[in-house]
Amino acid sequence: MSSVTSGAPAAGSTRVRGADLLRLSTLFVRTLREDPADAEVASHKLLVRAGYIRRAAPGIYTWLPLGLRVLRKVEDVVREEMAAAGAQEVHFPALLPKEPYEATGRWTEYGPNIFRLKDRKEADYLLAPTHEEMFTLLVKDLYSSYKDLPLTIYQIQTKYRDEARPRAGLIRGREFVMKDAYSFDTTDEGLERSYEAQRAAYRRIFDRLGLEYVIVAATSGAMGGSRSEEFLTPTAIGEDTFVRSPGGYAANVEAVVTPVPEDVDYADAPAAHVEDTPDTPTIESLVALANARFPRPDRAWTAADTLKNVVLALTHPDGRREVVVVGLPGDREVDLKRVGAAFEPAEVEPATDADFAAHPELVKGYIGPQVLGPNARREAPADATVAEGEVPERHSVRYLLDPRVVAGTRWITGANEPGKHVFDLVAERDFAADGTVEAAEVRAGDPAPDGSGPLELARGIEIGHIFALGRKYAQALGLTVLDENGKQVVVTMGSYGIGVTRVLAALAEANHDDAGLAWPAHVAPAHVHVLATGKDASVFEEAERLATELTARGVEVVYDDRPKVSPGVKFKDAELLGVPLLLVVGRGLADGVVEVRPRAGESVQVPVADAVEHVAARVAELLG
Amino acid sequence: MSSVTSGAPAAGSTRVRGADLLRLSTLFVRTLREDPADAEVASHKLLVRAGYIRRAAPGIYTWLPLGLRVLRKVEDVVREEMAAAGAQEVHFPALLPKEPYEATGRWTEYGPNIFRLKDRKEADYLLAPTHEEMFTLLVKDLYSSYKDLPLTIYQIQTKYRDEARPRAGLIRGREFVMKDAYSFDTTDEGLERSYEAQRAAYRRIFDRLGLEYVIVAATSGAMGGSRSEEFLTPTAIGEDTFVRSPGGYAANVEAVVTPVPEDVDYADAPAAHVEDTPDTPTIESLVALANARFPRPDRAWTAADTLKNVVLALTHPDGRREVVVVGLPGDREVDLKRVGAAFEPAEVEPATDADFAAHPELVKGYIGPQVLGPNARREAPADATVAEGEVPERHSVRYLLDPRVVAGTRWITGANEPGKHVFDLVAERDFAADGTVEAAEVRAGDPAPDGSGPLELARGIEIGHIFALGRKYAQALGLTVLDENGKQVVVTMGSYGIGVTRVLAALAEANHDDAGLAWPAHVAPAHVHVLATGKDASVFEEAERLATELTARGVEVVYDDRPKVSPGVKFKDAELLGVPLLLVVGRGLADGVVEVRPRAGESVQVPVADAVEHVAARVAELLG
């Protein structure tokens, strides 16, 4: 007697008992030939058609046996690499009381993005979208000394977000599985080490999953903190746009910081002058009229010479609505995601007619800086009827500029009267702003902020996000420990998320063709799909024997044992399900051969006597 | 090359890499010497004190690493036996839309017992307490023919109930883990087979867990259905009372059906007569006065000669409050749990002063049948001022009798005036009721309903509940399949639950002593607890070597490697954590021996050279 069973002893024996021999005659699955009506992306269509998931409500899915098997395998990879990185697994409730989230301000900041409810005693609860507060409180509860740290703990858990627009199946859901880890250190250097350890674990996880990824600089958003990076998997259907430069810069567009040009000397600039510009409510019409009626001697006017003032409405977490104006060069559009990130936690949308009606100084199509921000506050208009010293409420609209609008730049912009624009309006000399904002779209060819060359744009799905949170949560919730000198120090934290269900969807996006899914072997619901084709009893007997022997060897098998289903349907189903290796037992059996065919690749004939050995070896190779 | 890795290949290698060597110097755990203030039962106290769980909110717990390990092991046993019984695992959302629960009426029936919420579009959702509706709809969605059945599918999932009084830690929580399985058949015989298969799987599960259990007949409650049994684990702290007879009858008290005595011939009974019985508001005072003033010739009056009328208030799921009166022999108390089950889905409580005020015909302490139920409706009182043919509202109180109050029985009971009782009031001759109700307490010595002898009472925790649901859910949600003759038939279902977190608590209740937990080896967080005692570096080196070698052999080890902790504290912690085998490396090392001590049992000295072999063998024996 020298060895004993470990951890999950009977799981292995269940497999040997045949738990991993999935017979299609009894497996709880139905394949669909048609795409579901609400599906737009391949992963969503195919996961539903192949019987991996079913929709239960908008953005809320049920896992069928095949889908659950893949999900568990993805979770296992995450779990193993978390353990290897020294992170310990815990498990928090999803239903949480309001108080900790109130202490950090997030109860309000999340606005309508979280599910809230009351219990029978009218106490407020939420369904947690992320658990910083609870992890912080737990560590506070258990630990008190620097000797207890560093610590990284994590969970794999069901999370909730009340998305305004759940979409793309598992990619943007309202109930989803996350791995969230949290690190606790006493020093900044410690946090840096913990952050790097998680970052390295993420690289190993996505490498093992065979998922291409880019690590990009990101904004911290509602999470707070000093540094944050996203792991994106590049795909045309991604919701996130990111940029890369030849010199290695990479960032989420929300995080791209516009390089600020040098100030321009405006000593020789002519005075600003208002001109009649009838019927020029758009940049295009304004540029055309300027070139026709006020031509420049050196070159034609372009949209880049105009200063466009875009009116936006913010909804703050407390429900307050605020109208703001963003000024940017007329050849750039406002990027709502960038401006959204810039104004977080407020939500941003274009101003409505009602917003304009509340601000009569904003003349649609002819808005200029003079009525905005500090300019309006500096010069009260002649018709102001307010008492001296009082700032008229209607002139309090905040004015924020694109970072390119530096001192000395000259602009054509609205003169705040219909049909009039002002020319040679010089920044700093003629107008100021309340600050700058990263609101303008990033364009291919824009310079990287670190000087590493022109940017290219691509789309991706966010599969991981890591944050060096710093002391925000520990401070808010009073997590301190005694240091070497017996002094209380505030703990510094990191938070590290992987969207587990989203990773599964990303794997489906990256591994499919028109016929169906095509899983990498280590996350596939099984390793081999055995098809018995034809009506001959001997075919089924042989297929049964092969399936059983493979299972006994530890190979996970889907066996299509359905007696009255045509070979055509069986092949179509096999392609749709996406198991990496097909073993076809059919006519060839008369000649003593079976066919082994990778989901994508060339098929070979193998003598039936060698089939188990051959398939087991190929599976081992695939699992590599 | 002959064998390949299977299912969770790297889990094993992670263990070999040391994932299952839990060092107390870094393990995220803190033991407490004091019981938590809110804990009443041993499992709650010890699971918190040993650092397995922490309270996050009333009835809502966080799982720390040790607790999570035990939970996973319990889940694995359940999962393996479900697979062995042919059940397939799926996973449903916890957050579900209202509509399916509305279709079966449970949205209303659950009343305040479920958590309800609205999403940002004001759509109604609930946190599911059980998933009959969703499983039914999923099968309807996928299956259509009798050939697809039988089917049993299950999930292990987080469930929610807004308990009025969460208590006893994990035993009655508001967020908890359940295994819920559902069977689908076309015939009653099929349902019987599916039910028996789950019943047998439950027996294997609890046998493997080493948890004593009793299978008792139960009421189906809000679940509905024809047959239902509970698995109870006997324990004095159990919330459920059950009965057993020498002849093998066993039932939850709620399910005990009172044997109905034969009717009594009342031809010779004297006419009822009202007597003055001043100051007799209690049964005791009434019996004393009756014996003093109106003695029986044959024997003394006893409480069993009186008919006690108890006023209860029901709150129906729609919020309506109804006052009802239950009549029962004066020597029995109303059992609020039995009467609660009888009136489900309404909630029952004793009537309040406000209820009495609303029903002036109910004279506290002197209530008799004459003003109740059909008796009141038959004979409108003389002072009634209502129009002819109209039933006065205040006489509509429903009157329900204990089954023992059969026709011909004679009673002393209230005369509906202060200080007056009526004697020789004969059931059927003098009064009727709206029906019978199982409201009276069951007492030790009561006859079993099946004639199998006198009942004994015991307490237990409900760890499993199985229901032959029949066609209720399939009917309500339209789950039909085509039978052999091409006819649509309604599917018949079963539902089978195990409270996984509650099972863990029950295991802790059954396996502890004053010093701490004492887990059975197959659910313990580790197999061996290695203690290095003393300050000698060689002790720690040797303990480290033993812990590492045991881990490499597949033995899960907790290693107390804390350098500056006294042996006393280490032993106390080891006893509290409850790992089944202790391996003490300390002073004996100088003589070449270590100590092996079961958590509960005799210790032996073992030569250090044999220690790994010895311990591995004993662990294998324990896992047997």
**Which of A436, A466, A499 is the last residue in one of the domains?**
A436
Query: Do B449 and B204 touch, CB atoms closer than 8 A?
Result: no
Query: Do B114 and B483 touch, CB atoms closer than 8 A?
Result: no
Pairing state of beta strands B151-160 and B88-89? parallel
Residue B446, pLDDT > 90, answer yes
Residue with tokens 């050939």, as numbered in its chain: B147
Task: Give the span between the Cα atoms of B231 and B228, in whole angstroms.
Answer: 10
CB contact under 8 A, B160 and A95: yes
What is the full DSSP assignment across A99-114? Answer: HHHHHTTHHHHTGGGS
- Indicate whether B469 and B330 sit together in one domain: no
- Indicate whether A242 and A307 sit together in one domain: no
State the complex-level ipTM. Answer: 0.88
Residues B229-283: pLDDT tens digits?
999 999 999 989 999 999 999 999 999 999 999 999 999 999 999 999 999 989 9
Q: How many CB pairs under 8 A join A and B?
A: 236
CB contact under 8 A, B93 and A56: yes
Residue B224, pLDDT > 80, answer no
Residues B194-203: pLDDT tens digits?
999 999 999 9
| Residues spanned by the domain of A292 | 273-383+390-436
- Indicate whether B57 and B204 sit together in one domain: yes
Beta-carbon contacts of residue B236 (< 8 Å; ≥ 6 apart): B459
Provide the number of structural domains found in chain B.
3
- Indicate whether B147 and B295 sit together in one domain: no
Cβ contacts of B60 on chain A, cutoff 8 Å: 93, 95-96
| Confidence category of residue B38, pLDDT binned at 50, 70, 90 | confident
- Indicate whether B343 and B404 sit together in one domain: yes
pLDDT given at position A225: 66
Cβ count within 10 A of residue B211: 21
Q: How close B218 gets to chain A, by Cα (Å)? A: 27
| Confidence category of residue B219, pLDDT binned at 50, 70, 90 | confident
CB contact under 8 A, B116 and A117: yes
pLDDT given at position B392: 47
Closest CA to A529 of A571, A474, A480: A571
Residue of A4, A90, A119 with shortest CB distance to B28 = A90
pLDDT given at position A38: 87
Query: Is B2 within the bounds of a domain?
Result: no
Token readout for B43 is: 């499992």
Q: For chain B, what percent of residues have pLDDT higher than 90? A: 85
- Indicate whether B489 and B364 sit together in one domain: no
Cβ contacts of B6 on chain A, cutoff 8 Å: 12, 15, 20, 554-556
CB contact under 8 A, A60 and B95: yes
Beta-carbon contacts of residue A136 (< 8 Å; ≥ 6 apart): A100, A182, A473, A474, A477, A479, A493
pLDDT given at position A219: 80
Residue from A120, A133, A177, A527 to probe the interface with B (highest B Cβ count within 10 Å): A120
Q: Which residue of A has its CA nearest to B174?
A: A95
The per-residue pLDDT of chain B, averaged, comes to: 91
Residue of A57, A151, A164 with shortest CB distance to B96 = A57
Provide the residue type at B162 as one letter. D
pLDDT given at position A17: 40
Residue from B72, B95, B138, B549 to probe the interface with A (highest A Cβ count within 10 Å): B95
CB contact under 8 A, B95 and A89: no
Cβ contacts of B61 on chain A, cutoff 8 Å: 93
Query: Do A334 and A310 touch, CB atoms closer than 8 A?
Result: yes
Residue with tokens 């007056």, as numbered in its chain: B420
- Indicate whether A214 and A315 sit together in one domain: no
Provide the residue type at A103 as one letter. A
Cβ count within 10 A of residue A408: 16
- Indicate whether A327 and A283 sit together in one domain: yes
Cβ count within 10 A of residue B452: 15
pLDDT given at position B16: 37
Cβ contacts of A94 on chain B, cutoff 8 Å: 94, 158, 175
Q: Provide the strand spans (E) within B330-409.
A: 347-350, 398-401
Residue of A10, A57, A88 with shortest CB distance to B76 = A10
CA B516 to each of CA A323, B40, B70, B604: distance values in angstroms, whole numbers, following the listed order: 62, 15, 15, 21
pLDDT given at position A222: 60
Query: Is A28 within the bounds of a domain?
Result: no
Query: Is B249 within the bounds of a domain?
Result: no
Query: Do A49 and A29 touch, CB atoms closer than 8 A?
Result: no
Task: Kindly give the parts of chain A with pLDDT less than 70.
Answer: 1-19, 220-225, 378-395
Beta-bridged to residue B584, according to DSSP, are B531, B595
Residue with tokens 């258990």, as numbered in its chain: A142
Q: Which residue of A has its CA nearest to B19?
A: A83
Residue of B51, B117, B120 with shortest CB distance to A164 = B120
Task: Give the span between the Cα atoms of B256 and B230, in whole angstroms.
Answer: 13
Beta-carbon contacts of residue A294 (< 8 Å; ≥ 6 apart): A275, A301, A423
CB contact under 8 A, A96 and B527: no
Residue from B91, B194, B315 to probe the interface with A (highest A Cβ count within 10 Å): B91
Query: Is B443 within the bounds of a domain?
Result: no
Q: Which residue of A has its CA nearest to B50?
A: A142
Query: Is A145 within the bounds of a domain?
Result: yes
Within 13 Å and on the Cβ side, how many CA atoms surround B618? 20
Cβ contacts of A49 on chain B, cutoff 8 Å: none
Q: Which residue of A has its CA nearest to B554?
A: A6
B391-407 as b/e, with b when 16 or more CB fall inside 10 Å? eeebbebbbbbbbbbbe
Task: Give the span between the Cα atoms of B493 and B220, in whole angstroms.
Answer: 14
Query: Is A18 within the bounds of a domain?
Result: no
Q: Provide the strand spans (E) within A377-443.
A: 398-401, 410-417, 420-426, 435-436
- Indicate whether B404 and B488 sit together in one domain: no
CB contact under 8 A, A94 and B158: yes
Q: Which residue of A has its CA nearest to B126?
A: A117
Closest CA to A577 of A503, A518, A528, A531: A518
Residue B471, pLDDT > 50, answer yes
Cβ count within 10 A of residue A422: 24
Task: Give the span between the Cα atoms of B372 and B375, in whole angstroms.
Answer: 6
Q: For chain B, what percent of residues have pLDDT higher than 70? A: 93
CB contact under 8 A, A97 and B141: no
pLDDT given at position B221: 65
| Confidence category of residue B317, pLDDT binned at 50, 70, 90 | confident
Q: How close A589 gets to chain B, by Cα (Å)? A: 23
Residues B356-404: pLDDT tens digits?
999 999 999 999 999 999 988 755 455 545 454 444 444 579 999 999 9
Task: Give the span between the Cα atoms of A106 and A109, in whole angstroms.
Answer: 5
- Indicate whether A401 and A308 sit together in one domain: yes
Residue B354, pLDDT > 80, answer yes
CB contact under 8 A, A623 and B4: yes
Query: Do A623 and B9 touch, CB atoms closer than 8 A?
Result: yes
Sheet (strand A410-417) strand order: A273-276, A420-426, A410-417
Residue with tokens 């004279």, as numbered in its chain: B363
Beta-carbon contacts of residue B514 (< 8 Å; ≥ 6 apart): none
Query: Is B16 within the bounds of a domain?
Result: no
Residue of B6, B10, B54 with shortest CB distance to A76 = B10
Beta-carbon contacts of residue A509 (< 8 Å; ≥ 6 apart): A41, A42, A43, A233, A235, A237, A461
Cβ contacts of A619 on chain B, cutoff 8 Å: 4
- Indicate whether B591 and B481 sit together in one domain: no
pLDDT given at position B318: 84
Sheet (strand A307-315) strand order: A347-350, A307-315, A321-329, A398-401, A435-436
Lowest mean pLDDT among A223-237, B8-22, B449-463: B8-22
Residue with tokens 């007597």, as numbered in its chain: B275
Task: Give the span between the Cα atoms of B551 and B16, in whole angstroms.
Answer: 7
Q: How close A531 gets to chain B, by Cα (Å)? A: 20
Q: Which residue of B has its CA nearest to A26?
A: B148
Cβ count within 10 A of residue B587: 14
CATH number at residue B592: 3.40.50.800
Query: Is B105 within the bounds of a domain?
Result: yes
Cβ count within 10 A of residue A443: 14
Residues A151-173: pLDDT tens digits?
999 999 999 999 988 888 999 99
Within 13 Å and on the Cβ side, how many CA atoms surround B284? 0
- Indicate whether B78 and B104 sit together in one domain: yes
Q: Which residue of A has its CA nearest to B120?
A: A112
Q: How close B587 gets to chain A, by Cα (Å)? A: 27
Alpha carbon B284 to chain centroid distance? 35
**Which of B420, B436, B452 is the last residue in one of the domains?**
B436
pLDDT given at position B600: 83
